[in-house]
Amino acid sequence: MNKYCSSCGVEMPAEAPQCRSCGAIQDNFVYKSRVAAAVIAFSTGLFGIHRFYLGQWWGIFYLLFFWTYIPMLVAIIEGIVFLATSQKVWNDKYNRGLSLGTEKGGVVVIVPLVFIGIAMVGIIAAIALPAYQDYTNRSKVLESKLVAQQLMPAVESYAFERQQWPRNLEQLDIAAPRTSDNVGSVEIDAGVIIVAPAASTGIAGALVYIPKAQGSSIVWDCTESTIDKRYLPADCR
Ligand SMILES: [Zn+2]
C-alpha cells in the first residue's frame, strides 16, 4: 500500500514516517518524547503508564503488581535511565531514528525532581500513615487499660472481704473511675472488668480483664479482650 506525502505529494510507502523526498514527517508518525516518558515514569510509573506510552504492552505487569510498590521503584530508575539516554539513541529506539529537535534541558532536570519528590512523599505516607494510626490507636486503648487498673484493687479487696466477685460497678462503693474522651463504657460483671474505648476512637471491642484466684492473690488475665490485636497492650495479646 502506498500513499502520497502530505507535504510534497510524492508517492511513498504508507507506513513510512518520513518522506524520503522532502523530509516531511508524516501524520501517522507519533513522536515519543523522552522527557514526557520520564515524567510519566516518575508520576504514574507505578501503573506502567510510561510503558503504555511507549507502546509496550508489558506495562500490564506494572499494573498487576502496583500494590507491591515495586513497579514504582522500577519506574523511577527507568525514568532516570530515560533522562540519561542521549536523544539520538532514544530516537533510534523509540522514534524510528527520527528527530523532532532536541528537548528542552531545564525541564529535563526540574520536572522529574518534582515528581520524584511527590512519589517519595507518597511512598512514605503509604507506609508511615498506617503505622502512625496503629500507634495512636494503641495509646487510646492504653487509656482504657489505665481505667481498668484503677478498678482492680477495689475488686480484689471486695473479693477478699466477701469471698465472692462484685456483681457490678455499683457494688464496689467507690468513686466513679476517672475516664477520658477516649474511654467509652466501664463495667464490672462478676468481677470481670470490661472497659471499651469510646465510639469516637473508631476502635471496636473492649478490654476484658478476668480475675483469677491464684493462691492467696488475684491475677488478671486480659487475653480474652475483643479489641483488634494490633491495638492491644502486649500482655493482652
Ligand atoms: Zn514529501
Per residue in 22-66, pLDDT (tens digit) is 888 887 788 888 888 998 898 889 889 899 999 999 999 998 998
The confidence band for 166, taking pLDDT boundaries of 50, 70 and 90, is very high
Residue 107 is predicted with a pLDDT of 57
pLDDT at residue 98 is higher than 80: yes
Gap from CA of 140 to ligand 1 centroid (Å):
74
Q: Domain 137-236 adopts which CATH fold?
A: Glycoprotein, Type 4 Pilin (3.30.700)
Nearest alpha carbon to residue 112 among 38, 37, 34: 38
Arithmetic mean of pLDDT, 207-211: 97
Å from CA of 101 to ligand 1 middle = 19
Residue 76 grid coordinates: 523511577
Closest by Cα among 209, 214, 218, 210 to 158: 218
For residue 17, the CA-to-ligand 1 centroid distance in Å is 11
SS3 content of the chain, % helix, strand, coil (to 5): 50, 15, 35
Q: Give start-end residues of each CATH 3.30.700.10 domain in the chain.
A: 137-236
The whole-model pTM stands at 0.53
CA of 21 to the centre of ligand 1 (A): 5
In this structure, are residues 140 and 203 in contact, taking their beta carbons and an 8 Å threshold?
Answer: yes
